Amino acid sequence: MSVVESLSPPTASMPSRLRQFNALTKPRVIQLIVFCALIGMVLAVPGVPSWAEVRLGLIACLGIWLVAGAAAAFNCLVEKGIDAKMKRTSWRPTARNQLQDWQTLLFSGLLCTAGSVLLYVWVNPLTMWLTFATFVGYAVVYTVILKPLTPQNIVIGGASGAMPPVLGWAAMTGDVAPEALILFLIIFLWTPPHFWALALYRVEDYRKSGLPMLPVTHGNEFTRLQVLLYTLVLFAACLMPFIYGMSSWLYLVVAIALSIGFCGYGFALWRNYSDALARKTFRFSLIHLSVLFAALLVDHYLI
């Protein structure tokens, strides 16, 4: 076998290749992104949407999915060396050299181009530019610059992850209203405790990777305190939709219950750490955001 053949990834059947490209888009993450964008779309439209608004929303969801998938694929390409060192990400096709770099780059470029054209032509230019800026923020600013440079990477880079509701709102209205910025703030403040809970029980993976994650640079105890403090600030932010008049008492009750639960996990994690509790905190953070936004959706139509 020649040197080139020994270094090249194995030939994959078409179904297998499709699964590899799909894995690059980080489907579970994309689902949450599109869901949050959809919430922004729904809240931007008073009452029951018309068929034209439903069609516009579906096109916008597809465009956002394509660009978000492109950003995820580019992230996999840039971090393939780091991913290979971590148990959580070592299965990714790029980390296992199942895809060549040019294939991943081309795939990312095609998705980004298709999504951008879709948003510009069939939605509106503002949504396209905001979505493209989110792509640059995540794929370049966060992945290439912030993540390997500072333990505050999640805090600063969280701005990109908090954009989906803003994109959804802009898709339906052509502008960015204060309500969309409130949704942005909630996700922005939710991101650090969500991700640091994961980093706490994956600290050895991050230490091996060389990334300056907060538990690696500042230790377990300091990170746990930050998780607790962020859950408290997030509690206040989750009350803002009710205070601003975006929602009714239905949302408020759900928001208070979820926020007390998240703060409870943060406090327990701070007082008595265990990897099992960190895992539970991470999983609850996913439930917190999903149910919180679902409550906004139900409240919008029922009340």
CA 87 to the chain's CA centroid: 20
Q: What is the pLDDT of residue 15?
A: 57
Residue showing tokens 């930050």: 226
Question: Looking at residue 64, what DSSP letter applies?
Answer: H
C-alpha span between 273 and 220 (Å, rounded): 9
Q: Could you write out the DSSP letters of every residue in 183-228?
A: HHHHHHHHHHHHHHHHHHHTHHHHHHHT---HHHHH-HHHHHHHHH
Token digits for 24?
A: 């690059």
Token digits for 281?
A: 């905190």
C-alpha span between 223 and 212 (Å, rounded): 13
CB atoms under 10 Å from CB of 257, counted, come to: 13
C-alpha span between 115 and 270 (Å, rounded): 42
pTM of the model: 0.86
Q: 211 φ, ψ to 5°?
A: -80, 140
Residue showing tokens 């050895």: 204
Cα angle value 188/192/112 (rounded, 5°): 60
Tens place of pLDDT for every residue, the chain, 303 residues? Answer: 333 333 334 444 445 878 888 888 888 888 888 989 999 999 999 888 899 999 999 999 999 999 999 999 998 888 888 778 777 777 788 888 888 889 989 999 999 999 999 999 999 999 999 999 999 988 888 877 777 778 877 887 788 889 999 999 999 999 999 999 999 999 999 999 999 999 999 888 888 877 788 899 999 999 999 999 999 999 999 999 999 999 999 999 999 999 999 999 999 999 999 999 999 999 999 999 999 999 999 999 886
Token digits for 166?
A: 């803003």
Q: What is the pLDDT of residue 9?
A: 44
Q: What is the pLDDT of residue 149?
A: 78
